[in-house]
């Protein structure tokens, strides 16, 4: 007899409910192809219900004192800590990342819960002097209203946490649409919020596709702001649609992140950073390193040692403790990644290792791809310019620091960059001139912490930042308040 599939629901107005028309979609383990559950295949009617619930909850929530909102977030942090292992295991099955990384993903949610809970006792505004006597001038932060959070599959709990927690502490209410590939991790986060005592309607979950749920949410007249992480193509569509109603939008999009290794670098350390940044999460981080920019003097040595290390990486199910690299998210992504091999060769690059799907033994069940290093890559080749989002690293040789920085800055993206050097002057110059939102010195391109702003320059987004003190700028509206206690009309810029 076939095993019954777990059946999950949307969360709207404090109740778990099916999609209005009862439709469902399967979600599969990318390492085995096995179905892990059925999720609502929602549509515009579900979006309407969720936005109405969020709208109805807005006044109650925005008038709840921020420290009290923070207390709920502290409880979310505690509950996530208790459930960390269980959620991490579900995440590995749902998304494929290895268990240690899935634990890190949940930890990022915990970190954000505590950080934003603390913001409940800050949410700093401004008190400034007035130019007139007996008059006070202050700026306070107000929530925007109902926020749509549209999140990707590569950080199935961390990114929903970044967005929802920042939105909620500021007094907004939220409709969360998780990626179609990872609804379960988001659902587990929403369960935690419900168990922590979040009032009904304050956070709603609607599972479904970008066209059936995402776009109707972006276009809904009662949605005031949209926080989106995903591809550049979809980000542009979101921005164009939201512009019709002058809605506020934050976009966190692609990356083409590079590690620069100078001749004087600690090579062993650099190799550790390269391996972790290029092949961790199977290269499926926005911050993943996909270009290795290496100075001429050590290029051959570094390449040789890199290939030896890559050959040792073990592919497998993320729950197997021996696995270093899990599967890609699905077969379509594997085909996309593989398509770049022909592109690389046509442009004159060499496939130094990998370059094919990994199908030996049990790997045949999943969407695995061999960790791949391309050598002889020139900065203008497509593989050095386009985001591949897989375990593919391009090696580019340069002569000088100036050239390395120019190559780093010579793509449409500007998320993360890194330099390995022992020369303080080179490091300092790189910190100043690398045109990315995140810069690492003697560490790889991944591993941003939540207490600093996260985001990129140029084509990586539209200039906003998530996390840290950057997040509140997006999720709040400034209100300037003047209080005249002189008892007479004082005209600004005229009376003194």
| Candidate list 76, 102, 148, 448; residue touching ligand UN1; CB under 6 A | 448
285 belongs to the binding site for ligand UN1 (CB under 6 A): yes
453 belongs to the binding site for ligand UN1 (CB under 6 A): no
Q: Which one of 34-42, 95-103, 444-452, 456-464 is the stretch in contact with ligand UN1 (CB under 6 A)?
A: 444-452
286 belongs to the binding site for ligand UN1 (CB under 6 A): yes
Q: How many residues bind to ligand UN1 according to rule CB under 6 A?
A: 9
Q: Which of residues 90-119 bind ligand UN1 (CB under 6 A)?
A: 108
The distance of closest approach from Cβ of residue 411 to ligand UN1 in the complex, given in angstroms and rounded to an integer, is 17
250 belongs to the binding site for ligand UN1 (CB under 6 A): no
The distance of closest approach from Cβ of residue 347 to ligand UN1 in the complex, given in angstroms and rounded to an integer, is 26
287 belongs to the binding site for ligand UN1 (CB under 6 A): yes
Q: How far apart are CA 199 and CA 49, in angstroms?
A: 16
The distance of closest approach from Cβ of residue 81 to ligand UN1 in the complex, given in angstroms and rounded to an integer, is 18
Q: Which one of 123-131, 284-292, 315-323, 404-412 is the stretch in contact with ligand UN1 (CB under 6 A)?
A: 284-292
- Strands across the sheet containing 126-129: 126-129, 135-143, 476-484
Is 286 annotated in the active site?
Answer: yes
For ligand UN1, the closer of residues 233 and 304 by Cβ is 233
Contacts of 168 (CB under 8 A, 6+ apart): 61, 69, 73, 116, 174, 198, 202, 203
157 belongs to the binding site for ligand UN1 (CB under 6 A): no
Q: Which one of 188-196, 204-212, 241-249, 446-454 is the stretch in contact with ligand UN1 (CB under 6 A)?
A: 446-454
| Candidate list 446, 461, 466, 468; residue touching ligand UN1; CB under 6 A | 446
For ligand UN1, the closer of residues 216 and 230 by Cβ is 230
The distance of closest approach from Cβ of residue 175 to ligand UN1 in the complex, given in angstroms and rounded to an integer, is 21
155 belongs to the binding site for ligand UN1 (CB under 6 A): yes
For ligand UN1, the closer of residues 257 and 476 by Cβ is 257
For ligand UN1, the closer of residues 271 and 286 by Cβ is 286
Catalytic-labelled residue, pool 108, 119, 207, 286: 286
Nearest to 284 by CA among 157, 188, 412, 152: 152
The distance of closest approach from Cβ of residue 367 to ligand UN1 in the complex, given in angstroms and rounded to an integer, is 19
Q: Which one of 207-215, 267-275, 279-287, 302-310 is the stretch in contact with ligand UN1 (CB under 6 A)?
A: 279-287
The distance of closest approach from Cβ of residue 105 to ligand UN1 in the complex, given in angstroms and rounded to an integer, is 8
For ligand UN1, the closer of residues 154 and 436 by Cβ is 154
Q: How far apart are CA 100 and CA 112, in angstroms?
A: 18
Nearest to 451 by CA among 432, 471, 437: 471
Is 149 annotated in the active site?
Answer: no
Catalytic-labelled residue, pool 108, 119, 252, 303: 252
154 belongs to the binding site for ligand UN1 (CB under 6 A): yes
The distance of closest approach from Cβ of residue 387 to ligand UN1 in the complex, given in angstroms and rounded to an integer, is 11
The distance of closest approach from Cβ of residue 154 to ligand UN1 in the complex, given in angstroms and rounded to an integer, is 6
Residues engaged in binding ligand UN1 (CB under 6 A): 108, 154-155, 285-287, 446-448
- Could you list the active site residues? 252, 286
């Amino acid at each position: 007899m076939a095993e019954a599939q777990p059946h999950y629901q949307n969360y709207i107005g404090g109740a778990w409910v099916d999609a209005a028309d009862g439709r469902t979609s399967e979600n599969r383990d990318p390492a085995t192809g096995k179905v892990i559950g059925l999720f609502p295949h929602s549509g515009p009617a579900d979006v309407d219900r969720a936005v109405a619930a969020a709208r109805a909850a807005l006044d109650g929530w925005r008038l709840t004192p921020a420290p009290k909102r923070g207390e709920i977030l502290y409880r979310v942090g505690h509950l996530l800590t208790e459930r960390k292992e269980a959620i991490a295991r579900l995440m590995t099955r749902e998304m494929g990342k290895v268990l240690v990384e899935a634990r890190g993903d949940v930890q990022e949610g915990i970190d954000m819960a505590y950080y934003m809970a603390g913001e409940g006792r800050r949410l700093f505004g401004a008190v400034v002097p007035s130019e007139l006597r007996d008059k006070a001038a202050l700026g306070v932060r107000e929530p925007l209203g109902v926020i749509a959070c549209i999140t990707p599959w590569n950080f199935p709990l961390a990114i929903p946490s970044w967005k929802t927690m920042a939105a909620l502490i500021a007094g907004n209410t939220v409709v969360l649409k998780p990626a179609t590939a990872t609804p379960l991790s988001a659902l587990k986060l929403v369960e935690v919020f419900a168990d922590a005592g979040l009032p009904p309607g304050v956070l709603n979950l609607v599972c479904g596709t970008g066209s059936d749920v995402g776009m109707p949410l972006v276009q809904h007249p009662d949605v005031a702001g949209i926080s989106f992480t995903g591809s550049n193509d979809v980000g542009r569509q979101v921005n164009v649609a939201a512009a019709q109603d002058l809605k506020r939008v934050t976009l966190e999009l692609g990356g083409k992140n590079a590690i620069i290794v100078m001749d004087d670098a600690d090579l062993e350390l650099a190799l550790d950073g390269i391996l972790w940044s290029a092949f961790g999460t199977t290269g499926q981080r926005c911050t993943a390193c996909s270009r290795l920019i290496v100075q001429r003097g050590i290029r051959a040595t570094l390449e040789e040692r890199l290939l030896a290390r890559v050959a040792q990486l073990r592919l497998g199910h993320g729950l197997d403790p021996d696995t270093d690299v899990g599967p890609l998210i699905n077969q379509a992504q594997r085909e996309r990644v593989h398509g770049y091999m022909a592109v690389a060769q046509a442009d004159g690059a060499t496939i130094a290792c990998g370059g094919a799907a990994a199908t030996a033994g049990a790997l045949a069940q999943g969407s695995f791809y061999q960790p791949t290093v391309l050598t002889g890559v020139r900065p203008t080749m497509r593989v050095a310019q386009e985001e591949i989002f897989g375990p593919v690293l391009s090696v580019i040789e340069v002569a000088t620091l100036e050239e390395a920085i120019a190559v780093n800055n010579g793509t449409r993206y500007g998320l993360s960059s890194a330099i390995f050097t022992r020369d303080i002057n080179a490091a300092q110059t790189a910190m100043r001139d690398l045109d990315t939102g995140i810069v690492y010195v003697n560490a790889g391109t991944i591993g941003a912490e939540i207490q600093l702003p996260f985001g990129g320059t140029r084509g990586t987004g539209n200039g906003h930042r998530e996390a840290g003190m950057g997040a509140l700028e997006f999720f709040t509206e400034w209100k300037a308040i003047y209080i005249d206690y002189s008892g007479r009309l004082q005209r600004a810029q005229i009376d003194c």
